[in-house]
Structures are given as structure tokens and as C-alpha cells.
Amino acid sequence: MGEVTDYIAGRDEPARTVLERYRVRAMAVVPEAEEGKGYGMAALRYRGRPLISVVSTKQGYSVFPFSADVVAGVVAELEGFDSTKGGIRFTDERHLPDAAYEALVTRRRAEIDAALERPRRA
């Protein structure tokens, strides 16, 4: 098993089911993603960089795409979700909509691709 799978397995229900659902959705969007860590959290990684992490907390869940720009772009399209510069919070009563989650994943993937395809300065 990997970092994300191990993290999910260590959670109680309903968190285990919720986290697994988001892991599966991210893998459907970015099948080449791999399990690992990002900033100390269990995270899916893409091209060697952190792609997305969803964690359970006492208050609910937080999703982190490791990009303030990605968070800001998606939060602007959502209503009623608390956010920080780095993530978006949601609860068992009100999950993050699939379209918003997929937007976080696809925008972060595009950001990683753009960063890695930019010519390096000498």
C-alpha cells in the first residue's frame, strides 16, 4: 500500500469512505498520479510534485491542491465553503462538489505541467 492508502485505512468511518471516494476521483482524472507525501501530508503526486491531498479533521475535511492560485480560482466558483489560502474545508453534511474537486485536480495538474515545461534559465 502507499501513503494515501495507508492514511485512509487508518481513519474511522465515515471518513474512510469519503477519503477513498476523493482518491478514486483524483486517480480517474490523473491516472499517472502516485501515492506519496506533500508538505508532510499523505498526497497524490504527479511528475514528482504534490498534486492533491484530502485529510480528515475533527471539524470535517480539508482538501489541499498545494497551490494558492488553484484554491482561489476554484473558491471563486463556490458558495458556502470555508477556505484558507492553501485549502478548502467541507463536512460530511456538505461534501465538496465533484466538479469543484475535479477542477482542483485538473488545474493543479496543468500548473505542474506548465512549471515543468518552462525552459530553465541559465
List the chain residues with pLDDT less than 50.
Answer: none
Q: What is the pLDDT of residue 1?
A: 64
Cell readout for 20 is 477513498
The domain in which residue 54 lies consists of 3-117
* CB-count burial class (<10 Å; 0-12, 13-18, 19+) for 30: buried
Q: Is residue 55 part of a domain?
A: yes
pTM attached to this predicted model: 0.93
Q: Is residue 122 part of a domain?
A: no
The C-alpha angle 114, 115, 116, rounded to 5 degrees, equals 95
Overall number of domains in the chain: 1
Q: Is residue 44 part of a domain?
A: yes
What is the dihedral sign for C-alpha 59, 82, 73, 118? Answer: negative
Q: Is residue 39 part of a domain?
A: yes
Task: Kindly report the CATH number assigned to the domain that includes residue 66.
Answer: 3.90.1150.200
Residue position matching grid coordinates 502507499: 2
Torsion of CA 34, 39, 40, 42, to 10 degrees: -30
Q: Is residue 98 part of a domain?
A: yes
DSSP for residue 121: P
Q: Is residue 85 part of a domain?
A: yes
Q: What is the pLDDT of residue 122?
A: 60
Asked if 69 and 83 touch (Cβ cutoff 8 Å), the reply is no
Torsion of CA 88, 11, 92, 49, to 10 degrees: 20
Q: Could you tell me how far CA 30 lies from the centroid of its own chain?
A: 12
Which residue, 7, 44, 2, 6, is CA-closest to 25?
44
Q: What is the pLDDT of residue 51?
A: 98
Q: What is the pLDDT of residue 119?
A: 75
Adjacent-strand bridge partners of 34:
45
